[in-house]
Structure 1
Amino acid sequence: MKKMTFLLADGLLKPSCLFAAIEVLEKANEFLVNQGNQPYYTIELAGVNLQQRLLNVSFSLQGVRHINEVKKTDVIILPSFDSPGDFAVSNSGDALDWVIRQYKQGAEVASLCTGAFLLAATGLLKGQSCSTHWKAEAAFRAMFPGLHLATHKIITDHNGLYTAGGAQSSLNLMLYLVEKYNGRETALYCAKVLQIDIERNSQSPFIVFEGLKEHADEEIRSVQDYIETHIEDKVTVDFLANRCAMNRINFSRRFKRATKISPVDYIQRIKVEAAKRGLEAGRKNINEVMYAVGYTDVKAFRMIFKKVAGITPLEYRLKFSRPDY
């Protein structure tokens, strides 16, 4: 048996994430019972502030326990929050201390989507890679600059700590846990009943790169603006450094200090984002899209596109372009 405790922190909860994750565990229990076994998961909700907010209203859940009543659990699930500013971190000190104590007693901890902010705030992720929703990337990097954020990953798993990307990626993490505890057959049953793509291994194709401009360095921001308005040009790091009257090393350090990524990565992500929009529109072939974003080498473009988007330009076009009817 696994005791699964969903932690309701003091913030604006995303109930779809909470209830969908619970449903995966319920379907796992259903499958195991149908196979003549006992249910494997016991599910409970625990928190500090037991009245939760949902958008502009409040709601109460029956049977929610105060965290002080939960002396020991096997797995803590941190669902996603949409609280302005810090995703419920500042109001959840007691809950985070409880998570740390439980982890030290042997509990595993899994964050879903922006629940990664709470897990990161415990300090338990130090030295490990983690994931969260790609739209929260800039906020996460600003709050936790010392952590290795890998937004392209669907799931991370290190030392009993798990994180998932956004939205449906959270369900992939729940399937991952079910497979780990109960085997592939159980996980496949849950995936089929709930119609979840169990083989998703990257959220890169879904990322919309938004620029990482939440910093105070005006000169670097002007460089970012230049990159974004000269998509069709072959922009190099040396060229940008010269525009700022800096040598390449100092410019690269300053750029990364402001944006948290290197200028090379930034240029590639901006160009690939523009290429994605071109492929979605479907009016140009892949070579035309490539030329429009400043690449002339098909092999290099394909390699960079796949590195950033997780799939090839052709695969992206087939997945996201408007079908012809």
Structure 2
Amino acid sequence: MKHLTIVVPEGQDNLSSIIGPYNIFSRANEYRRESGKGDLFTIRLAGISRKMDFDDGLFSIKPHVDISAIAKTDLIIIPSVDHNSEKAIKGNKVLIDWIVEQYKNGAAVASICTGAFVLASSGLLNGKHCSTHWEAAEDFRKMFGSVTLQTDRLITDENGIYTNGGAYSFLNLIIYLIEKYYDRQTAIFCSKIFQVEIDRQSQSAFIIFNGQKTHGDEMVKKAQGHIESKPQEKISITELSSKFAVSRRQFDRRFIRATGNTPLEYAQRVKIEVAKKNLETTRKTINEIMYEVGYSDVKAFREVFRKITGLTPLEYKERYNKESVVTI
């Protein structure tokens, strides 16, 4: 029998990302028993404290065992942690060292949402791809420059390390792992029982683009402000760089270093965020919205919109604006 360890880190802030995996894997075991087979996993919660309180003591969890009592496990799940990620990392050094040792001994490791900060601090994500909550992306990039962050991805799977996007999207990761370790039939059953959409790949449609402003490059901040103030205009990046008296090459380099996007990508994201809000809240046609954010070519607008959100403008409007009459 395999062993699944759901760790309970210090500073953990989301009870559901512990209870959810526990319940779904337990139900997968039950379904396997109903088909005449034994449990695939022994499931244990493990931490470094005897009890963890949540929501100002309203709820609490008592891990089955101390992490030091587990000599070997096959799969580790790291739940989300407090958004004060540096504090969470400092408070979990013993846990992090244990995860590294287990991975070296053959265990697979999966992180949920901001649990990626704990996983990345172990060094196990260096040179690999990873996802986390889109809202934490800027902080993650600053802290872990050797990890390739892909916030559009709902799930990453690389060399026995799994990560997922934000909040309750962890349910999709658990269904993914159920299929990986049990089989497709069990995954479909669990997806139906827990009503989780199976095979979802992206969290792009949920991302709210607010721009990356915590960097210290004042020139780039001014350029961002200029781009954001003119979503209806087709901005020339060459002219914008000249406005700040720097070469186009230097402008691009500084912009990418500060924001993680090229100036063109940033302008596209600003325009698409404005378009999304219009699609959500107005009865304007897609063509009207397209013109208002500086596009005149329907195909080009649709391609950029889909690249950023994972949906076409029509699909987005149908999903998020129930009151509108959708017309092109």
TM-score tier by shorter-chain length is over 0.9
1:321 equivalent to 2:325? Answer no
Report the counterpart of residue 213 of structure 2 in structure 1: 213
1:284 equivalent to 2:294? Answer no
Counterpart amino acid of residue 299 in structure 1: K
Which moves more between the two structures, 17-26 or 102-111?
Answer: 17-26
Runs ≥4 in structure 1, deviation > 6 angstroms?
none
Kindly, what percent of the aligned residue pairs are identical? 45
1:33 equivalent to 2:33? Answer yes
Report the counterpart of residue 128 of structure 2 in structure 1: 128
Report the counterpart of residue 167 of structure 1 in structure 2: 167
Q: 1:135 to 1:87 in 2, by over 3 A?
A: farther
Deviations 1:286-322 (A, max 9, x none): 0111111111111111111100001111111111113
Give 1:85 deviation, angstroms.
Answer: 4.5
Secondary structure at 1:49's aligned position in 2? Answer: coil
State how 1:61-100 maps to structure 2 within 5 Å. Answer: 61-86=61-86, 88-100=88-100
Give 1:251 deviation, angstroms.
Answer: 0.5
TM-score of the pair, normalised by structure 1: 0.96
Report the counterpart of residue 24 of structure 1 in structure 2: 24
Deviations 1:154-173 (A, max 9, x none): 11000000001112321111
Give 1:182 deviation, angstroms.
Answer: 1.1
Separation in structure 1 between the aligned mates of residue 65 and residue 58 of structure 2, nearest angstrom = 18
Q: Runs of 5+ in structure 2 lacking a partner?
A: none
Q: 1:320 to 1:187 in 2, by over 3 A?
A: same
Report the counterpart of residue 137 of structure 1 in structure 2: 137
State how 1:146-185 maps to structure 2 within 5 Å. Answer: 146-185=146-185
Give the conservation status (yes or no) of the 8 Å contact 2:85–2:117. Answer: no
1:275 equivalent to 2:263? Answer no
Give 1:324 deviation, angstroms.
Answer: 5.2
Separation in structure 2 between the aligned mates of residue 31 and residue 76 of structure 1, nearest angstrom = 21
Separation in structure 2 between the aligned mates of residue 87 and residue 161 of structure 1, nearest angstrom = 23
Report the counterpart of residue 203 of structure 2 in structure 1: 203
Q: Runs of 5+ in structure 1 lacking a partner?
A: none
Counterpart amino acid of residue 275 in structure 1: A
Which moves more between the two structures, 245-254 or 89-98?
Answer: 89-98
Q: CA RMSD in A?
A: 1.6
Separation in structure 2 between the aligned mates of residue 236 and residue 16 of structure 1, nearest angstrom = 47
Separation in structure 1 between the aligned mates of residue 59 and residue 317 of structure 2, nearest angstrom = 42
Report the counterpart of residue 235 of structure 2 in structure 1: 235
Give 1:60 deviation, angstroms.
Answer: 4.1
Deviations 1:13-65 (A, max 9, x none): 20011111211101211211111111112111112233324233375433432
Give 1:87 deviation, angstroms.
Answer: 6.7
TM-score of the pair, normalised by structure 2: 0.95
Separation in structure 2 between the aligned mates of residue 236 and residue 106 of structure 1, nearest angstrom = 52
